Structure 1
Amino acid sequence: MTANNRTEDAVLLNEQLAALDLAGRLSLVAGLGGRAVFTTSLGIEDQLITAEIGTHRLPIDVATLQTGRLFPETLALIDETESQYDIHIARYEPAKADIDAYAAKYGLNGFYESVEARHACCGVRKLKPLARALEGATVWITGLRRGQSANRLETPFAEYDAERHLLKVNPLADWDIEAIKAYVAENSVPVNPLHARGYPSIGCEPCTRAIKPGEPERAGRWWWENDEKRECGLHVAEEAAAVAAQ
């Protein structure tokens, strides 16, 4: 199937998903055929998707990028979530050789010194493990939402990821944070205790801080950088391609 056909499929799927609730969206995606993979950061929106997958026993693989720098609370939540929903969350870790090479060039915490070093760290700890997590997948499911940041305002329900040659589905694109909080409370979904301490978006411990009143949800990620649209590269095709070419 050509890229044009896959793009047309994504446009049609986007329209279909828009008319469904979350359970319907995930069920539709699960029935597309091929391997569907949901990558979770264990954030509140991702926990909602995991709960739906586990509760309805949907044939969707659940994976997380265990970067080696996650908060202890996040690591504990992986085990708790597996236990509550009787599912397996596959862990994908960075290669030791890549970590050693990064540290030799930039220093272990060199990401504070330049955007280049920070992107290189995300490449080693996130993008390369993500590539392994998505091997053989035809659909990639994420917890992206339009309300998370300025860079995500136009997030569709479905799109064709030309760099990874798969359909990318964002079933929570139109959900706001209050609706998500209401869902997890009503359904007793386990959430990261850091959310209650001012961390709406949680990544690696050295690169995440609590946000201040009035700040966007993702203001605490890589806060020392000036770019208001900063991302790690997981959801920015050009950066993914650059890292893959290294």
Structure 2
Amino acid sequence: MSEFLRTLPNPLNARFPQKSLSERLVFLRQNVPGRIVFTTSFGIEDQALTHAIRSENLNIEFATLDTGRLFPETYDLWARTEQKYGVRIKAFYPDAEAVQALTAKQGINGFYHGLDLRKACCGVRKIEPLARALSGAQGWIAGLRGDQSGHRSGMPFAEFDEGRSLIKASPLLDFSREAIADFCADNQVPVNDLHERGFLSIGCAPCTRALLPGEPERAGRWWWESEDKKECGLHVAAAE
């Protein structure tokens, strides 16, 4: 199976630019055998993908990583999204013993005091649960945009994820935030109330703040770190 999956990024990357969002998702579902998992963090990009997937009634599983430190507004949107689209979004939680060990070692907010400490927290609360969410899947849909960061600007629409042995697809890669916001407004897609209060990129509450005037979109994530370090590891290859 993995040898076949390695060949799929070529046709996906060749055909995606000519297709609409819904057409991209349909094409992906038609060409990836087996399970496809869409991981949502309930950002505006993920809400657009949720709408498109449900509108086409595609056989794609919904999953989210509940780190235990999300904003109340995110949980509220989670509930509203399930109600509107008639879908149950499966939650994957961090291992309780791993969280206990993490906080015993670094304290409840130890991630503020060093990059390694922050990455350790992301590892327990995000990376390990993601591995469970994607276990046995052949495809993974993520709501990444190329203009979000320098790292993401170099990503293709689709790639074979060697570490996870699946196809990773980013159907919104060439969309602007404005285009996604228009899509959500036109289709009455529910979005996080925090967006209107200056939180454009939303993660865990302790690691997210509203943007200051003139700041780039992801400046509010892990704002105490340098710009070139702002990835939690979900979308960085193991070799990096």
Which range, TM-score by smaller chain? over 0.9
Q: Render the CA deviation track for 1:167-214: whole Å, top value 9, x for unaligned.
A: 000000000011011111110000000000001100000000111222
User: Residue in 1 aligned with 2:123?
Assistant: 123
Take 1:207 and 1:44, find their aligned partners in 2: how far apart are those partners?
A: 18
In structure 1, list runs of 5 or more residues that go unmatched.
242-246
Contact kept? 1:48, 1:183, Cα under 8 Å:
yes
Q: Secondary structure at the match of 1:233?
A: coil
The equivalences for 1:20-39 within 5 A come to 20-31=19-30, 32-39=32-39
Take 1:227 and 1:177, find their aligned partners in 2: how far apart are those partners?
A: 20
Take 2:229 and 2:173, find their aligned partners in 1: how far apart are those partners?
A: 17
Question: Is it true that 1:15 corresponds to 2:14 in the alignment?
Answer: yes
Take 2:63 and 2:92, find their aligned partners in 1: how far apart are those partners?
A: 7
TM-score, with structure 2 as normaliser = 0.96
Take 1:194 and 1:167, find their aligned partners in 2: how far apart are those partners?
A: 31
Take 2:10 and 2:178, find their aligned partners in 1: how far apart are those partners?
A: 28
Contact kept? 1:150, 1:229, Cα under 8 Å:
no
Q: Secondary structure at the match of 1:58?
A: coil
Take 1:206 and 1:227, find their aligned partners in 2: how far apart are those partners?
A: 18
Take 2:177 and 2:214, find their aligned partners in 1: how far apart are those partners?
A: 14
**More deviation, 123-132/49-58:** 49-58
1:228 to partner: Cα distance: 2.9
How many residues matched? 239
Take 1:8 and 1:43, find their aligned partners in 2: how far apart are those partners?
A: 30
Take 1:60 and 1:218, find their aligned partners in 2: how far apart are those partners?
A: 28
Q: Secondary structure at the match of 1:137?
A: coil
Take 1:46 and 1:2, find their aligned partners in 2: how far apart are those partners?
A: 27
**More deviation, 172-181/30-39:** 30-39
The equivalences for 1:11-160 within 5 A come to 11-31=10-30, 32-160=32-160
Contact kept? 1:200, 1:218, Cα under 8 Å:
yes
Distance 1:33 1:2, change over 3 A: closer
Q: Secondary structure at the match of 1:171?
A: coil
Contact kept? 1:145, 1:155, Cα under 8 Å:
no
1:155 to partner: Cα distance: 2.2
Take 1:2 and 1:234, find their aligned partners in 2: how far apart are those partners?
A: 21
TM-score, with structure 1 as normaliser = 0.93
Take 1:23 and 1:174, find their aligned partners in 2: how far apart are those partners?
A: 14
Q: Render the CA deviation track for 1:130-156: whole Å, top value 9, x for unaligned.
A: 001001100000000011112211221
Take 1:128 and 1:102, find their aligned partners in 2: how far apart are those partners?
A: 13
Take 1:147 and 1:52, find their aligned partners in 2: how far apart are those partners?
A: 21
Q: Render the CA deviation track for 1:199-245: whole Å, top value 9, x for unaligned.
A: 11000000001112221111110000124341000000127x8xxxx
Q: Secondary structure at the match of 2:238?
A: helix
Give the % identical residues: 52
Take 2:49 and 2:147, find their aligned partners in 1: how far apart are those partners?
A: 17
User: Residue in 2 aligned with 1:244?
Assistant: none
Q: Render the CA deviation track for 1:2-30: whole Å, top value 9, x for unaligned.
A: 55x54332122211222211000101112
Contact kept? 2:70, 2:204, Cα under 8 Å:
yes
Take 1:61 and 1:55, find their aligned partners in 2: how far apart are those partners?
A: 14
Q: Secondary structure at the match of 1:120?
A: helix
In structure 2, list runs of 5 or more residues that go unmatched.
none
